[in-house]
Structure 1
Amino acid sequence: MTTTTDSLTSAPAPNRVLLAAPAPPAEAAAHFRASLRLYADVSDVAGALSVGGDPGFVVLDSRSTESWDQGRIPGAVHLPTALIPERAADLLDPSVPVVTYCWGPGCNGATRAALALAELGYRVKEMLGGFEYWVREGFAYETPRGTESRTADPLTAPVAGVCGC
């Protein structure tokens, strides 16, 4: 077994994973249940959209027009975050859940959009990974040139088959 040591004292370094004890199972279950109510991943959104028909939710791209033009999820509604308070009622049915996305994990635009929608009374989830992971996982996207796709990145998606998680 390999142990790490603190380079200044030569004493064993604390196990940072267990420095804060894991939550009790009931607390952990409540947290993860709540997380699934607030977030959807790219693969699940793509799977729901690929079946055809009404998936039961609308996908909302909260980025700028310039970003939208670089590429977007097919069928997404474009509504930049700053315009949500004045335009949401014109574009979204309050009875239909909304899944927001922005650029990717390094951007909290989808979070801000989800908050703005929730404050207006919409049921909302944020799509983890955003447009970046949509593209990296190999799903088709629209641009002014038409529909495009890239080969799935083997660090983010299975190159053959399905994830199975």
Structure 2
Amino acid sequence: MTSHSEPVRHFAAKLRFETDPSDVHAAIENGDAFVLIDTRGEEAWRQGRVPQAIHLPTAEIGQRASAVVAPGTPVVVYCWGPGCNGSTKAALQFSLLGYEVREMIGGFEYWAREGLPVIDENGAVERNIDELTAPIGIGAIDCAC
């Protein structure tokens, strides 16, 4: 084993189990097969969400997951943002049920701050792109990383 094998395993595992808003957006645009789960509570869901997301609060995953997501279907979970570990808890719950799951780091906060589509109970929500989280300009949704 070389001295580089431990960090390689670590970073490869992160990429296997984590994703980010711009990659999730690209996967949605590409038609990739997965279900996006918003794990927040009802009030947060009503406040705003990713249009393609399905609402399944973390506390309900154990009882409702198989009725909401067909077994064998890859899952991506998100919660509020980087200051919240709700998506980690949700990812653990889906993992315990045998699902292939990834956590969307940055959560809904960074989805919205990057100017990606958001809806609420009244339809589309227009938000400005935060220049500290995403490039500003036509078609500049991601950082090209």
Which range, TM-score by smaller chain?
A: over 0.9
Deviation at 1:149, TM superposition (A): 2.9
CA contact (8 A) 1:97 1:124 kept: yes
> 1: distance between equivalents of 2:135 and 2:42?
31
Check if 1:146 corresponds to 2:126.
no
Alignment pair present for 1:32 and 2:11: yes
Which residue number in structure 2 is paired with residue 163 of structure 1? 143
Q: Compute the TM-score of the two structures, normalised by the length of structure 2.
A: 0.93
**1:36-77 CA distance string (max 9 Å, x none):** 0110011100111123xx421110000001110000101111
The structure showing larger relative contact order (alpha-carbon pairs under 8 Å, at least 6 residues apart) is 2
RMSD of aligned Cα (Å): 1.3
- 1:16-165 aligned within 5 A: 24-51=3-30, 54-160=31-137, 161=140, 162-165=142-145
Task: Tell me the SS of whatever aligns to 2:40.
Answer: coil
**Which secondary structure state, in structure 2, belongs to the residue aligned with residue 118 of structure 1?**
helix
Moved over 2 A (4+): none
Give me the TM-score of the superposition, normalised by structure 1: 0.82
1:126 deviation in Å? 0.2
| Matched-pair contact (CA < 8 Å) for 1:60–1:76 | yes
Residues 42 and 134 in structure 1, CA contact (< 8 A), matched pair in contact too: yes
Q: Of the two, which has the highest radius of gyration? A: 1
Partner of 1:14: none
- % identical aligned pairs: 50
